[in-house]
């Protein structure tokens, strides 16, 4: 029963955090530009959304860590390395995002909905987006590794005992 709960929480965490980020990046930003007609205005929405995505990452990454730890003893070394490496990349990227977010915030004037210093903002924003892309890619690889680990566990659970 605990395995089922862990898997359910893993899927829920990935759906909220990773799914939310993917949907926001793929759809909402473009719709915001179309409706608001301004990248700057949409950027102030993104500022708030990324704050929440960063907060949501904390329980999501903890659940992924739990899932990795639970699978660890029963999976091949190569799969352990994949889970550990992708999780480490996701964690390190998230730390970087937590550090960069307030730095970006300081370059914005929320009352006037303006960017205070455009050149430093653009550079830091590009780094933030690239870091997010690295994290997104690592998450895709991590999800694939999770599915393989779960498949192996399920096969072992239904395999006939050997004599």
Q: Are strands 114-115 and 108-109 parallel, antiparallel or unpaired?
A: antiparallel
Query: pLDDT tens-digit profile of 16-46?
Result: 999 999 999 999 888 988 888 877 778 888 8
| Interatomic CA distance for residues 58 and 2, integer angstroms | 21
DSSP reduced 3-state for 31: helix
Say if residues 50 and 102 touch (Cβ distance below 8 Å).
no
Domain residues of the chain, as ranges? Answer: 2-158
| Interatomic CA distance for residues 66 and 60, integer angstroms | 10
Give me the pLDDT at residue 163, please: 63
Give me the pLDDT at residue 113, please: 85
Distances (CA, A) of 21 to 1, 29, 67: 30, 11, 21
Give me the mean pLDDT over the 116-133 stretch.
94
Whether the per-residue pLDDT at 83 is higher than 90: the answer is yes
């Amino acid at each position: 029963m605990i395995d089922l709960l862990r898997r359910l929480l893993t899927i829920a965490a990935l759906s909220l955090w990773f799914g939310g980020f993917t949907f926001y990046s793929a759809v909402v930003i473009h719709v915001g530009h179309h409706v608001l007609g301004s990248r700057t205005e949409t950027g102030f929405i993104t500022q708030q959304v990324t704050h929440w995505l960063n907060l949501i990452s904390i329980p999501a990454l903890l659940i992924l860590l739990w899932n990795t730890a639970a699978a660890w003893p029963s999976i091949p070394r190569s799969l352990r390395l994949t889970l550990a490496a992708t999780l480490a990349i996701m964690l390190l990227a998230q730390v970087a995002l937590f550090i960069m977010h307030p730095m970006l915030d300081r370059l914005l004037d929320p009352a006037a909905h303006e960017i205070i210093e455009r050149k430093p903002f653009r550079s830091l924003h590009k780094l933030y987006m690239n870091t997010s892309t690295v994290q997104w890619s690592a998450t895709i690889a991590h999800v694939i590794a999770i599915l393989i680990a779960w498949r192996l566990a399920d096969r072992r659970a239904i395999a006939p005992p050997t004599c």
